């Protein structure tokens, strides 16, 4: 390379991107992380921001702070628009409209995934998902606005609609979200809210062991959640959701709908597939080689939720382990060493929290529920939060919100924000205030 340092561009500052960057610490390389946000998001706890348990800053430290001790890494806030694999250049759009050209010798694409509405993208306006800080903040405002509007409603039917919360999808995200909405409604605000969990399949947490599924269902029922299993969403509008089950179709008035029913890979996965001839699966994830590289381009890697590799789930652990593997592989190639073995995933298990002091854990062949499961869940999640200050802050917020006061200290809202949420709910506004 004529004495020039190896250039690595990492697209995405999530679990995979950050781990790949850290694995290159001290290497004779310049690493550039380019992302549409300036923070590293701990996505598994987003639902706690949406339900007023945690402030956003604790789970979203600035990317510059995350890599501040790594002299060979820096971050760029931009939106990647094109991947020129032949020219080895990433083209991105800066916030001021400038076109940025980021040349690379090695490229790591870790762009994650987005929500999929299975051909009904119009539902996104009425049933937002939970993938970004903006999603969490919007949901928090929407949920709090619903309670405030219910206080003002004089029509019982209108009040009931404001106090009906429907979560679509009973995977870990849906279960964790519905559990916290139920606790917020029934323990913190003590309302007569109706909490619905809608699932097209026959069970909650379908990927978990049957014993854990049964425990989760019993626990949610005790928390006041109505589970509509074998029930498919047919239509969603601003004030209702129409579902179909064994008894036919019915319309459920509900002003708050939350989507947790499916994900689709970032559009960059399709871009990589088209450029390299790689295949994609039903979720749009690009198929990568055993070393996470793309066909015909050994210098280009894709990792995390946007890739299809060995049927791995779209969760944090594969992204973390792939990021470390790819970072080490790039280092080995730079040193002229024999390439590492193909990527091998170490399954550390699955876990999901249901409510306070209640979780399910399936790890290394052992299954835990209740307080033990909750303690394990809390320990693992705190461990992966970046920064000791954020870890301690998270523990203190959990203690305050769910143990001593049964309060949600971050349920603040303004008149202007509530006004916007009500207008958006009716489809009469386009932009959020401020």
Residues marked active site are found at: 176
In residues, how long is the chain? 434
**Spatial CB neighbours of 4, under 8 Å, sequence gap ≥ 6:** none
Give alpha helix (H) positions in 205-264. 210-222
**Cβ-contact 196, 167 below 8 angstroms:** yes
Calculate helix-pair angle for 133-152, 415-425, nearest 10 degrees. 90
**Spatial CB neighbours of 366, under 8 Å, sequence gap ≥ 6:** none
Q: What is the dihedral of CA 400, 402, 404, 405, to 10 degrees?
A: 80
Tokens 């239509």 correspond to 235
CA of residue 24 relative to chain centroid, distance? 25
Cα–Cα–Cα angle for 301, 291, 29, rounded to 5 degrees: 50
Give alpha helix (H) positions in 184-315. 210-222, 267-276
**Cβ-contact 265, 306 below 8 angstroms:** yes
How far apart CA 274 and CA 264 sit, in angstroms, is: 17
Calculate helix-pair angle for 210-222, 172-183, nearest 10 degrees. 20
């Amino acid at each position: 390379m004529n004495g020039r340092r190896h250039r690595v561009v990492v697209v995405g500052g999530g679990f995979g991107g950050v781990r790949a960057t850290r694995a290159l610490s001290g290497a004779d390389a310049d690493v550039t992380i380019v992302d549409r946000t300036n923070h590293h998001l701990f996505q598994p706890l987003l639902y706690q921001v949406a339900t007023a348990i945690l402030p956003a800053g604790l789970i979203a430290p600035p990317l510059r702070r995350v890599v501040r001790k790594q002299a060979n890494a820096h971050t760029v806030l931009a939106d990647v628009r094109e991947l020129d694999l032949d020219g080895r250049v990433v083209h991105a759009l800066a916030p001021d409209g400038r076109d940025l050209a980021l040349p690379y010798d090695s490229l790591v694409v870790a762009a994650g995934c987005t929500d999929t509405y299975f051909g009904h993208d119009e539902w996104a306006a009425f049933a937002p998902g939970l993938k970004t800080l903006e999603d969490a903040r919007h949901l928090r405002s929407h949920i709090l606005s619903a309670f405030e509007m219910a206080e003002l409603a004089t029509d019982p039917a209108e009040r009931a609609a404001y106090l009906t919360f429907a979560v679509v999808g009973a995977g870990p995200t849906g279960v964790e979200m519905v559990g916290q909405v139920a606790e917020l409604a029934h323990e913190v605000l003590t309302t007569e809210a109706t909490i619905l969990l809608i699932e097209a399949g026959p069970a909650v947490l379908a990927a978990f062991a049957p014993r854990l599924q049964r425990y989760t269902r019993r626990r949610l029922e005790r928390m006041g959640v109505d589970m509509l299993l074998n029930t498919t969403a047919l239509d969603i509008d601003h004030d209702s959701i129409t579902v179909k089950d064994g008894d036919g179709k019915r319309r459920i008035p509900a002003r708050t709908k939350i989507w947790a029913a499916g994900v689709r890979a970032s559009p960059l996965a399709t871009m990589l597939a088209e450029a390299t001839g790689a295949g994609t699966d039903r979720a749009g994830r690009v198929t990568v080689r055993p070393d996470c590289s793309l066909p015909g381009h050994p210098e280009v890697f894709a990792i995390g939720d946007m890739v299809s590799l060995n049927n791995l789930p779209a969760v944090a652990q594969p992204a973390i382990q792939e990021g470390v593997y790819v970072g080490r592989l790039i280092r080995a190639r730079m040193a002229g060493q024999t390439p590492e073995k193909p990527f091998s995933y170490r399954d550390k298990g699955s876990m999901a929290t249901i409510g306070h002091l209640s979780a399910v854990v399936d790890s290394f062949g052992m299954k835990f529920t209740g307080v033990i499961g909750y303690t394990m869940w809390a320990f693992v999640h705190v461990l992966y939060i970046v920064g000791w200050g954020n870890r301690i802050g998270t523990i203190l917020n959990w203690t305050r919100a769910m143990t001593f006061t049964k309060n949600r200290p971050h349920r603040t809202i303004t008149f202007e924000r509530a006004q916007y949420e009500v207008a958006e709910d009716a489809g009469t506004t386009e932009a959020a205030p401020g």
